[in-house]
Structure 1
Amino acid sequence: MSGLGKLLPSLRPESPDLLHLDFLRLLASYGIVLVHFRTNLLSPFAGREAIARNLDSFALCVDLFFVISGFVISWVYRDRIDGLGSYGRFLRKRVARLVPLHWATLLFFVLAWAAGTAVGASFDRAEKYDFDCLVPNLLMIHAWGVCGGPSFNSVSWSISAEMAMYAAFPLLFWAATRSVTGFALFFAALVAALYLFSGDQFWAERTYNLGVLRAFPGFCFGILLYRHRDRLARIAGARWWLAAAMVLFGAAAIAGTGKPWLLPLAYLIPLLGVAADMQGRVGPLVRSLAPGGRLTYSIYMLHPVVQSVFIVLIGRKLLALDGMGLTVWTLLAFPLVAVVGYLSLFLFEEPARRLMSGTSRRPSVDARGERISI
């Protein structure tokens, strides 16, 4: 058992200082899982189409991730990038964190297409197997407006957008340091312009079609939260306000509140999470669930694989489940996603990350350790 314990260690928080943000990351990742599992989950219920439309608002959890990412990267790298050499090392570590699982899930969907085509199987979403977008996926630029639709592991658009934010981080952080007021005014003007000139599609609904534009305001807001973290620490009862904001967001989303109205609340939640973390008061629920924040990226990237294999292939096609049977089967997929994510983290992602980043041992649990918000 000791050997297995070393291979599959217990989950521990990556930092003792940001437990509320880790807690938010875990909950937000399951918000995205809910969005993608909802059709099968709601199979036997009357009015399921209307309920499914409302639950789509939980897709704004991705925007919460972008805010947390801006804060966390600022927290970790605030004084670590001082030239081209350190910038290159920073990007190498970011690539090492994102690329292995991204490429692995991309390979899964390529092989799934090949196997399905060989046996003449039908695909629920055949349009996502767009091989014109294979190279952009490999290069992680498929959220930059170069693809004609969602492709392969379609949730990975946000990873493409994240990489663009990482590339721009030193410049953005420098600008926020040079004039935090000017940076705040820039952010406010940007969001106002996006609201006014979204066109036919609200800007926080973009994914493959310039999803990088969607990520930019959230990432900038995260940097602003870092710059104002001491002021945020003065918000009395921040962790209780955070709980209230989360309940309000969930209730408003279920009630069908439009995304333009919900997005400010999605930005407010990480603000209150930062405030709660800066105060250092942590309740038992947050403390117990915060270690699960380490699984966020794994859950996010692997839940489409679980959906394809466990829900669609096994549940719907092999077992011919429908109605309440399909609902129960889909409910089982929620904890399964965490199990698969845990195994992926320790057996694949961390070893691959150490190999690609040039480190030979597991990173220590440290407030300044390597972190990722998604």
Structure 2
Amino acid sequence: MRIRAHPPYGAGSFFRGGSISSTRFVELDGLRGLAAAAVVVGHFTTTFSEHYPTAPGSSIELQYGQFGVQLFFLISGFVILMTADRTKRASDFAISRFTRLYPAYWIAVVISIAVGALANVPGTQLTPLEMLLNFTMIQRLLLVPDVNGAFWTLAVEMQFYIIVFLVLLLTKCRLTDVLLRWLVAAWLAIAVASAVTAALFAPGVDITAAPVLVRAMVNVTLAEYGPLFCLGMLLFMARRNQRFEWLTIPAFLAVVVSAYLLHSSSYAAIVAGIGVFFTFVALRTSTPPLRLRPLLWLGKISYSLYIVHVVVGYATIDLLWPLIGRDLATLAATAVAVVLAWGLHAVAESRMSASWRRTLLQLRDKARDNLQ
């Protein structure tokens, strides 16, 4: 992340007499790598056992792997505001997000449908219309099941992108820090109010089992995940400006309170730990363990890995465990998912995305010229 040039200072320092904005935030890929690894291991151990109760247990269980998603949302808040901060046209942002996500996603949908049907993977038996709607990426908002268990987070991300796009459109890409603070404060208030309302109408009930209207309210307002996006955005502002954003404190509290109200105290404690960890990394010049090459590489392919690993991994483990045992089957599934993600990243994220972006930008510019 290169924003302003200042004299560098010691690695690991916070805001004391120097600059962290002069250094590229390499640790973001390391964080993505950690989040992706946690999700994959969690799905291939604990979650697989839940879907395939007749399979033998795994020697390693990671029931908290699901919390890699919270780390992804914090990273997204940081990165998307960094992208929006450099955007000159709202359409640039929309084209960037569309071409970044959809090429790989559409291929992952096809893979999920095909492998799910061939291997009879639980949760993939959808109607033709439901499968077709899965190509929208917002099927969760249409109350349509995901053909791939990992896809639900993408609808949440899309809501966040739409909010950022509308703000860019309405402000003509003039995002001042004052405006951002007011927007974040308003979103935090709405999110916490929604979480409180959900807790009052469904006390003691996990949000996933709450009445439809309560779940719809929580989903529309992003009551649980909005504060994570907000915290990520505030930490980007702090890193860019080299000045602590005091709104970070209420944002962190909103993250914890929403998690507690919508889930449990233990759930909230884990989310709080993730928030502290991300804050610690974001406000440091450098965090060397997150710069390890394997972790950075895993972070580079993390999006492709996230969207293909579930169905392909489940099918691989189910096929191989009777032959080589559960643990070796899990390792094999991990290898298959990583290699497939590597290929998907190379084809879709690197080549197709760039080609689509150039084409859409040219069409946008041509249409604008014709109107003038």
Normalising by the smaller structure, the TM-score range is 0.5 to 0.7
Q: How far apart, in 2, do the equivalents of 1:115 and 1:292 lie?
A: 28
1:140 equivalent to 2:137? Answer yes
Displacement of 1:296: 0.8
Q: Check conservation: 1:190, 1:217, Cα contact below 8 A.
A: no
Give the match's secondary structure for 2:87. coil
Q: 1:126 to 1:77 in 2, by over 3 A?
A: closer
Percent sequence identity over aligned pairs: 24
Q: Check conservation: 2:112, 2:312, Cα contact below 8 A.
A: no
Q: 1:285 to 1:225 in 2, by over 3 A?
A: closer
1:302 equivalent to 2:298? Answer no
1:220 equivalent to 2:230? Answer yes
Give the match's secondary structure for 2:147. coil
1:266 equivalent to 2:271? Answer no
Give the match's secondary structure for 2:71. helix
Q: 1:156 to 1:27 in 2, by over 3 A?
A: same
| Number of residue-to-residue matches in the alignment | 299
1:78 equivalent to 2:85? Answer yes
Q: Check conservation: 1:232, 1:274, Cα contact below 8 A.
A: no
Displacement of 1:287: 3.8
Displacement of 1:179: 4.1
State the partner residue of 1:5: none
1:89 equivalent to 2:96? Answer no
User: Normalization by structure 1: what TM-score?
Assistant: 0.67
Give the match's secondary structure for 2:151. helix
1:336 equivalent to 2:343? Answer no
RMSD: 3.7
Q: 1:189 to 1:290 in 2, by over 3 A?
A: same
Q: Check conservation: 2:44, 2:330, Cα contact below 8 A.
A: yes
Displacement of 1:357: 0.8
Deviations 1:211-268 (A, max 9, x none): 5624433222221222222577779xxxxxxxxxxxxxxxxxxxx9732332222222
Q: 1:340 to 1:359 in 2, by over 3 A?
A: same
Q: Structure 2: which amino acid aligns with 1:65?
A: F
Displacement of 1:32: 0.9
Q: 2:239 aligns with which of 220, 229, 249?
A: 229
Instruction: Flag structure 2 segments of 5+ consecutive residues without an equivalent.
Output: 1-21, 246-263, 361-372
State the partner residue of 1:20: 27
Displacement of 1:335: 3.7
Q: Structure 1: which amino acid aligns with 2:112?
A: F
After TM superposition, the structure 1 = structure 2 runs for residues 83-122 of structure 1, keeping only pairs within 5 Å, are 86-112=89-115, 115=118
Q: How far apart, in 2, do the equivalents of 1:66 and 1:132 lie?
A: 29
Q: How far apart, in 2, do the equivalents of 1:233 and 1:338 lie?
A: 39
Displacement of 1:295: 0.9
Q: How far apart, in 2, do the equivalents of 1:158 and 1:28 lie?
A: 13
Q: How far apart, in 2, do the equivalents of 1:233 and 1:204 lie?
A: 41
Higher relative contact order (CA 8 A, sep 6+): 1
Q: 1:359 to 1:294 in 2, by over 3 A?
A: farther
Q: 1:41 to 1:152 in 2, by over 3 A?
A: closer
Q: Check conservation: 1:165, 1:215, Cα contact below 8 A.
A: no
Displacement of 1:162: 1.4
